[in-house]
Structure 1
Amino acid sequence: MESYDKQLAESRDKAVYRDKGSRQTSIKTVYGTVEYSRKIYRTVNEDGQATHVFLLDKSMHMDKIGLISKNHAEKIALTVTESPYRVTSEIISSICGQNISAGGVWNIMQRLGERIDEEERHAVKQMDADQTEGQKSIPVLFEEMDGI
């Protein structure tokens, strides 16, 4: 990842992205913690505000929940559906070799819920504005009594 970050640094638009140095970070995955260094850049957004971005995260579409990878968060979510938070923390800690508390599991589930809520709100806004992304048009939609 660090060598790819160097390639991005060399090929970036230097007039748009000003190099502000490197930052150390890590990602907790199901295989363990991955530590690496990545460059941060200063740029100006559409509103004229100065912002800082990591081109590595942007180009790799890193979808994380804090410092936890999406795959690891999904494993935690699957375990939570069958076990309480405390049991989930014990299971994840023993399987992945990473310590996570019951409160940490709860925090991850809250962030996942916020993301799902945000995606659903966006889909509803698109539907209300007649900007749906589907390709099929169904004249009649039936709903069964059990809500399916």
Structure 2
Amino acid sequence: MLTEVLGVVEKANTRPLLIAMTTLSLLVRATGGAILSDPFTWALVVILPLGVMAYVLVIGWIYMIQGMNARLPENDMASWGPIIGSSLLAFCLLLTFSYVSSHPEGLSLSLLGEPDFVYVCTVFLLATETAKIRR
């Protein structure tokens, strides 16, 4: 089952969702999390500049990983994308398992309004997009 899920993630284009979640993370960070409790506020006027900033950050991250791959010798079989992406994914899974084990009563929809949830989802998407970068 995990193989099928990872196969879908591998084929899906997660970059637009990563840029949207990075924009949301920047907006949550800029407002101190207040945007999640009151989304219809004047703080939304900065969503377009933050979207451009998120786009630049994501593309810069991808080019940085590709640059690291380009510096590897030709006969080297390694690739930095899967190495860094898998490490980030392990970190996200560690956070998720830690949260689920400390809240045995189950998950609720109130979790969606937490800034930490937004950050973990962003890092999860960054991990999946990074793991797709090959030499």
The verdict on a shared fold, with TM-score over 0.5 as the criterion, is no
Higher strand share: 1
TM-score of the superposed pair, with normalisation by structure 1: 0.25
TM-score of the superposed pair, with normalisation by structure 2: 0.26
Higher helix share: 2
Higher RCO structure (Cα 8 Å, ≥6 apart): 2
- Higher Cα Rg, which structure: 1
